[in-house]
Amino acid sequence: MPKETTISIPLADLAEGRMVTRSAGGREIMVCRTKDGLFAVDNICSHAYARLNEGRLRGFRVICPLHGAAFDVRTGAVLGAPANRAIGSFPVHSDGTHATVTVPDAPDVPHIAPPMP
């Protein structure tokens, strides 16, 4: 049976346009707020190893800092090359004070590699 991990982030830490990261279940997750709501996606770009939270968030589009791929934080879909593989996206629930995200544990996430020097 797959395991899952739940993370909780105070809404006060999630101002619109801000990206917050947490480790959960062997993944690095980025949670953000846009004018469309709260969203959570894998924080590691599917093209190579780069942290998306170190890039830019423009509306629902997050742009990778390394080669400029773009992803839709609402779905994880690729919006711009060079990435051609979607990133994981996870539902976010809010109780009015915290954003809660439950993600499946990923002991063998293929695109996670050691950090670049």
Residue from 51, 18, 22 nearest 35 by CA: 18
- The answer to whether 7 contacts ligand FES (rule: CB under 6 A) is no
Binding-residue total with ligand FES (CB under 6 A): 11
Beta strands 56-58 and 98-104, pairing class:
unpaired
User: 14 or 69: whose CB is closer to ligand FES?
Assistant: 69
User: 9 or 45: whose CB is closer to ligand FES?
Assistant: 45
User: 33 or 47: whose CB is closer to ligand FES?
Assistant: 47
Cβ of residue 45: shortest distance to ligand FES, in angstroms?
3
Residue from 88, 92, 17, 86 nearest 53 by CA: 17
**Residue list 41-70, contact with ligand FES (CB under 6 A):** 45, 47-48, 50, 64, 66-69
Tokens at residue 85, please? 């593989």
Among 41, 73, 83, 106, binds ligand FES (CB under 6 A): 83
Start-to-end CA span in the chain (Å): 36
- Residue 11 gets which letter from DSSP? G
